[in-house]
């Protein structure tokens, strides 16, 4: 039976590319994001027998619970989840930042990811499953005043702790740490950045390892070509 992967932030960028790459590798996919229309288009592309759209805002535990339950009900199992939904902020200086911006950033990048983990972990235990998280190179460098970078420090710390919790029952956790990726995350194109497909390939590489191999972290950086 084909394995099942839930992806948050699946409506664009890294999440949508991972849905395509995982589907091509034989996974069935549950697609979560707020943009129902984009998710429906992706389901039409991948095939209704292989993909399901479950629109939800990750900041709502209730909405995520209902969405993930639909994926498990439809496909009967969950073998992996990719907590990838995330956002940046225009507030660059901690001295002048907008507090509402910070709250929204923490709600999506930390709370939303925690809620995903809490809901999927009991399902992943049943399948000795795999949890992937999108961290960032921003967690590895000093970024003046960046709370976005600090949210990704959280993701990397949590990923290491999750791997320690999951390994004893055969589970795995991987954090992906890309540098700049050319996605809608930015207001302008990043032609020298990684492509979302590059990160998707890394996600599928981690997912496709034999059960005794845990890839704890994958760091990806763009290499200038000009």
Ligand X SMILES: NC(=O)c1ccc[n+]([C@@H]2O[C@H](COP(=O)([O-])OP(=O)(O)OC[C@H]3O[C@@H](n4cnc5c(N)ncnc54)[C@H](OP(=O)(O)O)[C@@H]3O)[C@@H](O)[C@H]2O)c1
- Span interacting with ligand X, options 11-19, 65-73, 116-124, 211-219, rule CB under 6 A: 11-19
Pick 170 or 205: Cβ nearer ligand X: 205
CA 111 to CA 147: how far, in whole Å? 14
69-98: which residues touch ligand X (CB under 6 A)? 84-87
From the candidates 148, 151, 159, 207, give the one annotated as an active-site residue: 148
Interface with ligand X, residue 184, by CB under 6 A: yes
Interface with ligand X, residue 174, by CB under 6 A: no
CA 188 to chain centre: 22
Picking from 1, 29, 36, the residue whose alpha carbon sits closest to that of residue 15 is: 29
Pick 89 or 127: Cβ nearer ligand X: 89
Q: Can you tell me which of 2, 57, 198, 208 binds ligand X, judged by CB under 6 A?
A: 57
Q: Can you tell me which of 40, 59, 65, 110 binds ligand X, judged by CB under 6 A?
A: 59
Concatenating the DSSP letter of every residue in the chain gives ---EEEEESTTSHHHHHHHHHHHHTT-EEEEE-S-HHHHHHHHHHH-TTTEEE----TT-HHHHHHHHHHHHHHHS---EEEE------S---TTT--HHHHHHHHIIIIIIHHHHHHHHHHHHHHHT-EEEEE--GGGTS--TT-HHHHHHHHHHHHHHHHHHHHGGGT-EEEEEEES-B-STTSSS--TTSB-HHHHHHHHHHHHTS-TT----EEEE------
148 carries an active-site annotation: yes
Q: Can you tell me which of 71, 181, 202, 207 binds ligand X, judged by CB under 6 A?
A: 181
- Span interacting with ligand X, options 31-39, 74-82, 159-167, 203-211, rule CB under 6 A: 31-39
Pick 33 or 68: Cβ nearer ligand X: 33
Cβ 46 to ligand X, closest distance in Å?
15
Interface with ligand X, residue 162, by CB under 6 A: no
Interface with ligand X, residue 30, by CB under 6 A: no
- Site residues, ligand X (CB under 6 A): 8-15, 33-35, 57-59, 84-87, 108, 134, 136, 178, 180-181, 183-185, 196
């Amino acid at each position: 039976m084909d394995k099942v992967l839930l992806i948050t932030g699946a409506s664009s960028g890294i999440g949508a590319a991972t849905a395509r790459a995982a589907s091509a590798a034989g996974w069935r996919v549950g697609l979560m994001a707020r943009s129902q229309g984009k998710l429906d288009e992706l389901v039409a592309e991948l095939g209704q027998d292989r993909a399901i759209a479950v629109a939800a805002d990750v900041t709502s535990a209730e909405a995520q619970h209902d969405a993930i339950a639909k994926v498990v009900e439809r496909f009967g199992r969950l073998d992996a989840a990719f907590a990838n939904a995330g956002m940046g902020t225009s507030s660059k200086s901690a001295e002048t930042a907008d507090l509402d911006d910070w709250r929204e950033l923490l709600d999506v990048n930390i709370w939303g990811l925690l809620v995903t983990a809490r809901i999927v972990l009991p399902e992943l235990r049943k399948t000795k499953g795999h949890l992937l998280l999108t961290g960032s190179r921003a967690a590895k460098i000093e970024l003046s005043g960046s709370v976005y970078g600090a949210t990704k420090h959280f993701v990397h710390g949590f990923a290491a702790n999750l791997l320690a919790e999951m390994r004893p029952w055969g589970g795995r956790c991987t954090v992906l740490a890309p540098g700049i990726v050319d996605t809608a995350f930015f207001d302008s194109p990043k032609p020298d950045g990684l492509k979302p497909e590059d990160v998707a390939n890394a996600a599928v590489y981690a997912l496709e390892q034999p059960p005794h191999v845990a890839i704890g972290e994958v760091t990806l950086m763009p290499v200038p070509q000009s």
